Amino acid sequence: MDYQTLFTPFKIGNMEVKNRLVMSPMGTNSAFASGRKDEQEIDYFVERAKGGVGMIILGCQPLNEEIAQGSMEGTLDSFTVLPALTSLCDSVHRYGTKVICQITCGTGRNAFPDTLGRPPMSASPIPSAFDPNVPCREMTKEDIKAVMDGFTFAAGLAKDAGFDGIEIHAHAGYLVDQFMSPVWNKRTDEYSGSPENFARFPREIIQAIRKAVGNELPILFRISLDHRFEGGRTLEDSIPLIKLLEEEGVDAFDIDAGCYETLDYIFPPSYLGESCMSYVTDAARQAVSVPLLNAGTHNPESAVELIQSGTADFAMIGRGLIADPDLPNKLLADQREDVRPCLRCNENCIGRIWNNHTKLGCSVNVQAMEERRFKLEAAETAKKIVVIGGGAAGMEAARVAKLRGHEVALYEAGPRLGGMMRDVSTAKFKINIQLLSQWYEKQMEKLGIDVHLNTFIRPDDPILTECDEIFIGCGAEALVPPIPGIDAPNVATMVECHQDESLIDGENIVICGGGSTGCDGALEITSEMGKKVTIIEMKENCAEDAMFINRISLMNALAANNVTMITQAKVTAITETGVAIEKADGTTEVIPADTVINAFGMKPVLTTVNQVKEKYHTKTRVLGDSNKIGKIGDAIRDGFYAGSTI
């Protein structure tokens, strides 16, 4: 594919952007309590500017601490935040990249009610999203005026800092979106009841911003055109709103779909596929004449298709630029094979923020938000390193060590690189895991790493004596609990089924184990093979180990494919014709099965690991599942740490 389409300039208002690639607005959750940006966040954005993206839109910065409700994105209510913002703008401009300040007046009903010990405010006294027992406080006219004054001050700060434009966050069912949507806006005054009234609050925001910036800076407007839930705003409902906002002077619309009721569309996991929200651009293109930006898991190919279609002017890439900040420059240099793919796993980007209450990271790019601290530098002394195991951890350790100038030899017992990561990614919705395996394979080749396939290393092999360091990760294997019949001919492990599809015989398939592995396997077997699948799970819910946003899409997909899930049930025996289970209430049942799949879990393969470690304990580092059973991101982080510190 020719990616040059992405590298033509285009204007938004009086601002010219050098190419059609825009970094989507994503919070990093890293600002100080004072509202000031941290140096690490500045480094993070500078790395993406250096990588060639045309424009960066920052994550939403709230007007003040009260509205922020605990969000650590920085606030825009004091001149004290300006020095850091100026550093950010100047450093991004150094690379010819435009930078946009996204401003929010808060999450409204989506705020955590107890963050500041008071209910959140909204357009109406509707229930809080996270605790329906807590009603929101309806905003008064004085509240609205305070918000408008806040936007004027914040826009002035953005202008003084050197931002190239301002984006209004009216997305995801946050406060501005609540004013624009009948499902949340139940007011009886001039802010509700008609498209003109639903658009009044955002139009007043535009006016408030213009007071500070005039026509010097373009105003972008981020809006979900399709909420995708019953009662929410539809594409047809949104078109009159964006027409009115264009009349008010919006210079570009940043459009996609979803809201907190359909949270998986705010952070689309792999189950939703590529370019999952470009469908909103056709209607918007026909309705307004200003430039359009579109997000929604774009990869380089879908970005080209979007721009060539003419339905949008900019393709927005978010997590893809976390995974590889050099993506634009690599495409420009015709090095598509060197673009490190994002897994759409949500584990270490939004997952770190929501689950761990800490700053953003990345499963495949450990340097994200640690650009300075984890910068790779040439090793003082080049060493001979042996890597045992060609899975994610081993390949990352080999790659990073080689980049630092070490002599690296990698030994893999199997016929190909990738390990478990490659074995289990046969489903269409796991294509990016396959692509990551291929990317690693290509990097091994380009870096000149000495790769030996079909080679089993033993503790007494001379190469272990001769080398300076040993990195070892022998992966994991299936747990086989002592259940009668588990060794029957009609039983196979999930890994074996991925390796040999012919093992999935017959129409009725029963999967024993309803974690992410079992559920992903069930979805693949139903959606791609057309078989009837039943999952047996001991816990109260299936896929409890899945990142909760991903789980939304996964459960929707399993339901759409009529997968039966029997929870709080124990497998007691397996026969040639079925699986015997005991339920929580003590009742028993036999589930008919032609093929039974063991997805009870995994355990580390440690025989060789322990032998090597015992003999060479001072120079051995254990990686990946051999260290601790985890996910791909855990293995890659293990590998990076090993390769970057020798």
Task: Write out the catalytic residue numbers.
Answer: 174
Task: State which H helix or E strand residue 433 sits in.
Answer: helix 431-447
Check if the beta carbon of residue 58 is closer than 8 Å to that of residue 45.
yes
Q: What is the bridge-based pairing of β-strands 21-23 and 55-57?
A: parallel
| Dist CA 155 CA 161 (whole Å) | 10
Rounded distance between C-alpha atoms, residue 174 and residue 164, angstroms: 24
Q: What share of the chain is helix, strand, coil (3-state, %, to 5)?
A: 40, 20, 45
Which of these, 636, 621, 631, 626, lies nearest to 366 by C-alpha position?
636
Residue with tokens 């080999």: 398
The answer to whether residues 12 and 220 touch, using CB atoms and an 8 Å cutoff, is yes
Tokens of 539: 């816990």
CB 293 within 8 A of CB 252: yes
The CA-CA-CA angle for residues 130, 296, 181, to 5°, reads 45
Beta carbons within 10 angstroms of residue 38's beta carbon: 17
Q: Which helix (H) or strand (E) element contains residue 536?
A: strand 532-536
Q: With contact defined as beta carbons under 8 Å apart, do 123 and 107 qualify?
A: no
Asked if residues 473 and 393 have their Cβ atoms less than 8 Å apart, the reply is yes
What's the Cα-to-Cα distance from 248 to each of 98, 176, 239, rounded to whole Å? 24, 16, 14
Please check whether residue 418 is in contact with residue 441, taking contact to mean a CB–CB distance below 8 angstroms. yes
